[in-house]
Amino acid sequence: MGKNQETEIATLGEFGLIDRLTKGAEIKNSTTIKGVGDDCAVISHTTDTETLITTDLLLEGIHFDLTYCPLKHLGYKAAVVNFSDVYAMNGTPRQITVSLGISKRFTVEHIEELYSGIRLACDVYGVDLVGGDTSASVTGLLISITCIGEGEKGKIVYRNGAKDTDLICVSGDLGAAYMGLQLLEREKAISKNSPDGDFSPAFEGHEYILERQLKPEARKDVIEELAKLGIMPTSMIDVSDGLSSELMHICKQSNAGCLVYEERIPIDYQTACMAEEFNLNLVTAALNGGEDYELLFTVNLADYEKVASMHTVRIIGRITKPEYGCMMQTRDGNEIPLRAQGWNAFNA
Amino acid sequence: MGKNQETEIATLGEFGLIDRLTKGAEIKNSTTIKGVGDDCAVISHTTDTETLITTDLLLEGIHFDLTYCPLKHLGYKAAVVNFSDVYAMNGTPRQITVSLGISKRFTVEHIEELYSGIRLACDVYGVDLVGGDTSASVTGLLISITCIGEGEKGKIVYRNGAKDTDLICVSGDLGAAYMGLQLLEREKAISKNSPDGDFSPAFEGHEYILERQLKPEARKDVIEELAKLGIMPTSMIDVSDGLSSELMHICKQSNAGCLVYEERIPIDYQTACMAEEFNLNLVTAALNGGEDYELLFTVNLADYEKVASMHTVRIIGRITKPEYGCMMQTRDGNEIPLRAQGWNAFNA
């Protein structure tokens, strides 16, 4: 991050920086009455919707490492993880606010790069950037994004509606982002021990897991397909902390148990290869890796045929009575309790 | 901040900490459908309102110093500064989300203390805490709060509606929070140079300016009185960066100029005494000190009598044509241009 020809943030000040970052942004949603530039953003709504609010905090040194995470990707990811929470309520993200804490080693151009990723995510998902706060920080970069979404009244899906015999479904595949992170960390360690210029990271053939880690997408497509098929999930959550942890949230809040089948857990080929190379247990990575941003949901048994027709969704088990607990049937036919080993920043 | 008998956050983890902090919170607003505990909070609304969104980021070492700022006061202030932004749109704050970054030196009890201040502010102002995000941080404490408010359709007040001949009004008094900060910084410096136990800070007689710095209030009362009197401001902003800076925002966005009278600027006696003791220019402190969280607004000339009847509000000048610029008439009758010397975190 050289500072040649770059602009120190102090030369613009907070208001100058905000002007530069938000200039020329077009409003995409008719409900965005007032974006950046007043004490509050102003949002209108129709009578048949409710408002969804979610917020995520990303801290340098805890959630991201700029050694291998490009600022544009980071901005994209910071926005998308919030959109994912709105989709997990069966809603549509509409607006975000972006607060940044910025230490002295960042220039205006760095922050523009970060913002270009945030803006790209907003363009792809049809979201308006309507406000935020920008400040100096003592150390490192921090990004706090709040997303405002819309859900249709009566169609918002909570975590607490799963019922005995419901089918458990998950979109996409799991564990890839986690294996991407392992690869990035390994190459970073090797690079540190290599003489200058004598190192090129071994990323070939691992593009998918790297993209899953560095530039995840939110499953807007799955929400749209569910609506088209007339499927209303009984419960839903996005997989940010790992499948086990999210399943246990649904079971706890729905007062239910579950049984998932190890052999049904969707895992990509690149994820499997990388796990083997690292000598890591593949299923553990898929169950507890986290940062998948897939949708985990339950549907009524009557929706079996509809949900089975979805190419992006896999049925991985079923909801049971609460006394049954949260169980996984392994490939060899044993039943073992699921354990949440979701990532805990406070132990990092 | 001793750690005797205190609980390390890692022993609870993120979910355990959130459970402990949010346990037993009662919902005050009928529009809060779902608070903490799902992917998003869910908020309903009536057809005659619009939603207001504002967010503020407070960083240790930049915005606050825990040497003299008690955690409970800090939590209270972090919430109130957001409420102030909602009142400045002529709205009512309804919900907040609270994101925290917490370094290893903080215990569960510290964070409970911080939260008790946030909860007190929510109780006083009738606001529901509906979500957030909690993470470890590499260094220090950070607080990112987003507030969701309601404004009546057609009655939301922006910064851009001031018109030539409008009266400029401000609530309360200015410069007190800034002088409180100077006092706290002085006593901190003295304390550092004193032998252990041999120091008690000279705070007597300065209670008002200390409270204005450490535990500011948002001017809910002024908004309510304006409504009762049937006054609809033509523009409004809250004074967080200093009167000069805020006046210039209103004038720029309203394409107007202004003339304020130095002798009309409301200043408390304690503020004046402290400025003299510090040999600081009192008017500069009042114009540029910031953190007053008073309301600055403009009203139509026809509302003169009504606004003059408000005990908590002072008329300090009038809006002029844009070519006139932003001017202040000094006590000796000269007109000088206002300059915004609002606090800039990037130069701190």
DSSP A66-91: TTTS-HHHHHHHHHHHHHHHHHTTT-
Which residue type is seen at B298? T
- Are the beta carbons of B166 and A87 closer than 8 angstroms? no
Q: Which of A347, A342, A216, A221 is CA-nearest to residue A287?
A: A342
CA separation, residue B111 to residues A139, A143, B21, B54, B118 (Å): 21, 21, 8, 23, 11
Q: Residue A309, SS3?
A: coil
Nearest CA of chain A to the CA of B333: how many Å? 32
Identify all chain A residues contacting B148, using CB atoms and an 8 Å cutoff: 51, 53, 148
Across the interface, which of A40, A53, A101 has its CB nearest the CB of B40?
A53
- Report the pLDDT value the prediction gives residue B3, as an integer from 0 to 100: 47
Nearest CA of chain A to the CA of B284: how many Å? 20
Interface contact A159-B253, CB threshold 8 A = no
For residue B299, give both structure tokens.
């009203």
pTM over 0.90: yes
What residue in A sits closest to B140 (Cα-Cα)?
A: A138
For residue A56, give both structure tokens.
């995520």
Contacting residues for B34 by C-beta, under 8 A, at least 6 apart: A158, B40, B41, B42, B130
Distance CA B49, CA A175 (A): 44
DSSP A158: -
pLDDT tens figures, A13-32? 888 888 888 887 889 999 99
- Are the beta carbons of B206 and B180 closer than 8 angstroms? yes
- Report the pLDDT value the prediction gives residue B348, as an integer from 0 to 100: 45
pLDDT tens figures, B55-98? 999 999 999 999 999 999 999 999 999 999 999 999 999 999 99
Across the interface, which of B40, B53, B236 has its CB nearest the CB of A43?
B53
Size of interface A-B (CB pairs under 8 A): 228
Within 13 Å, how many C-alpha atoms sit on residue B194's CB side? 12
The alpha carbon dihedral of B262, B266, B268, B271 has a sign of negative
- Report the pLDDT value the prediction gives residue B345, as an integer from 0 to 100: 62
Distance CA B271, CA B8 (A): 41
Classified by CATH at the fold level, domain B9-152 comes out as: 60s Ribosomal Protein L30; Chain: A; (3.30.1330)
**B143-A185-A290-A275 Cα dihedral, nearest 10 degrees:** -170
Q: Is the pLDDT of residue B32 over 50?
A: yes
- Report the pLDDT value the prediction gives residue B347, as an integer from 0 to 100: 60
Q: Is the pLDDT of residue A347 over 70?
A: no
- A216: phi then psi, degrees, rounded to nearest 5: -70, 160
Q: Is the pLDDT of residue A222 over 80?
A: yes
Interface contact A144-B57, CB threshold 8 A = yes
- Report the pLDDT value the prediction gives residue B342, as an integer from 0 to 100: 58
Q: Is the pLDDT of residue A2 over 50?
A: no
Query: Which residues lie across from A236 on neighbouring strands?
Result: A297
Tally of CB atoms within 10 A around B192: 9
Cα three-residue angle B247-B170-B206, rounded to 5 degrees: 110
Nearest CA of chain A to the CA of B217: how many Å? 17
Interface contact B345-A136, CB threshold 8 A = yes
Distance CA B245, CA B224 (A): 25
Write a three-state SS string for chain B.
CCCCCCCEHHHCHHHHHHHHHHCCCCCCCCCEEECCCCCCEEECCCCCEEEEEEEEEEEECCCECCCCCCHHHHHHHHHHHHHHHHHCCCCEEEEEEEEEEECCCCEHHHHHHHHHHHHHHHHHHCCEEEEEEEEECCCCCEEEEEEEEEEECCCCCCCCCCCCCCEEEEECCCCHHHHHHHHHHHHHHHHHCCCCCCCCCCCCCCHHHHHHHHCCCCCHHHHHHHHHHCCCCCEEEECCCCHHHHHHHHHHHHCCEEEEEHHHCCCCHHHHHHHHHHCCCHHHHHHHCCCCCCEEEEECHHHHHHHHCCCCEEEEEEEECHHHCEEEECCCCCEEECCCCCCCHHHC
Interface contact A344-B146, CB threshold 8 A = no
Identify all chain B residues contacting A131, using CB atoms and an 8 Å cutoff: 53-55
- Are the beta carbons of A99 and A133 closer than 8 angstroms? yes
Token pair 């998902």: residue: A125
The alpha carbon dihedral of B315, B317, B321, B325 has a sign of negative
For residue A3, give both structure tokens.
């500072």
Interface contact A138-B60, CB threshold 8 A = yes
- Are the beta carbons of A238 and A296 closer than 8 angstroms? yes
Interface contact A13-B347, CB threshold 8 A = yes
Distance CA B116, CA A307 (A): 46
Interface contact A85-B151, CB threshold 8 A = no
How do A167-171 and A313-320 pair as beta strands? antiparallel
Q: Is the pLDDT of residue A262 over 80?
A: yes
The pLDDT confidence band at residue A170, using thresholds 50, 70 and 90, is: very high
Query: Which residues lie across from A59 on neighbouring strands?
Result: A142
Mutate which of B11, B40, B56, B146 to test chain A, going by most A C-beta atoms within 10 A?
B40
Interface contact B101-A59, CB threshold 8 A = yes
pLDDT tens figures, B272-281? 999 999 999 9
How do A313-320 and A235-238 pair as beta strands? unpaired
pLDDT tens figures, B130-173? 999 999 999 899 999 999 999 999 999 999 999 999 999 999 99
- Report the pLDDT value the prediction gives residue B209, as an integer from 0 to 100: 97
Distance CA A150, CA A52 (A): 6
Q: Which of B317, B314, B300 is CA-nearest to residue B259?
A: B317
- B194: phi then psi, degrees, rounded to nearest 5: -100, 145
pLDDT tens figures, B214-273? 999 999 999 999 999 999 999 999 999 999 999 999 999 999 999 999 999 999 999 999
Candidate from A45-54, A256-265, B1-10, B291-300 with smallest mean pLDDT: B1-10
What residue in A sits closest to B132 (Cα-Cα)?
A: A55
Contacting residues for A62 by C-beta, under 8 A, at least 6 apart: A345, A348, B101, B135, B136, B137, B138
Mutate which of B152, B159, B346 to test chain A, going by most A C-beta atoms within 10 A?
B346
Across the interface, which of A14, A39, A85 has its CB nearest the CB of B346?
A14
Interface contact B53-A45, CB threshold 8 A = no
Q: Region B103-107: what's the mean pLDDT?
A: 95
Interface contact A146-B55, CB threshold 8 A = yes
Q: What are the residue ranges spanned by the domains of chain B?
A: 9-152, 167-347
Identify all chain B residues contacting A135, using CB atoms and an 8 Å cutoff: 57, 59, 62-63, 345
Nearest CA of chain B to the CA of A142: how many Å? 9
Query: Which residues lie across from A324 on neighbouring strands?
Result: none
pLDDT tens figures, A234-252? 999 999 999 999 999 999 9
Distance CA A192, CA A68 (A): 12
Mutate which of A55, A97, A241, A339 to test chain B, going by most B C-beta atoms within 10 A?
A55
- Are the beta carbons of B143 and B134 closer than 8 angstroms? no
Q: Is the pLDDT of residue B1 over 50?
A: no
- Report the pLDDT value the prediction gives residue B58, as an integer from 0 to 100: 97
pLDDT tens figures, B189-204? 988 888 776 778 888 8
Identify all chain B residues contacting A236, using CB atoms and an 8 Å cutoff: 39
Distance CA A266, CA A67 (A): 30
The pLDDT confidence band at residue B11, using thresholds 50, 70 and 90, is: confident
- Report the pLDDT value the prediction gives residue A24, as an integer from 0 to 100: 77
Nearest CA of chain A to the CA of B272: how many Å? 29
What residue in B sits closest to A340 (Cα-Cα)?
A: B15
- Are the beta carbons of B338 and B296 closer than 8 angstroms? no
User: What mean pLDDT is reported for chain B?
Assistant: 93
The pLDDT confidence band at residue B4, using thresholds 50, 70 and 90, is: low
Q: Region A157-177: what's the mean pLDDT?
A: 98
Identify all chain A residues contacting B52, using CB atoms and an 8 Å cutoff: 40-43
DSSP A139: S
Across the interface, which of A10, A130, A253 has its CB nearest the CB of B53?
A130
Which stretches of chain A are DSSP H helices?
13-22, 71-87, 108-125, 176-192, 207-214, 220-228, 243-254, 269-278, 282-288, 304-308
Q: Residue A221, SS3?
A: helix
How do B295-299 and B235-238 pair as beta strands? antiparallel
Distance CA A173, CA A171 (A): 7
The pLDDT confidence band at residue B307, using thresholds 50, 70 and 90, is: very high
For residue B243, give both structure tokens.
């009167």
What is the architecture of the domain spanning A167-347?
Alpha-Beta Complex (3.90)
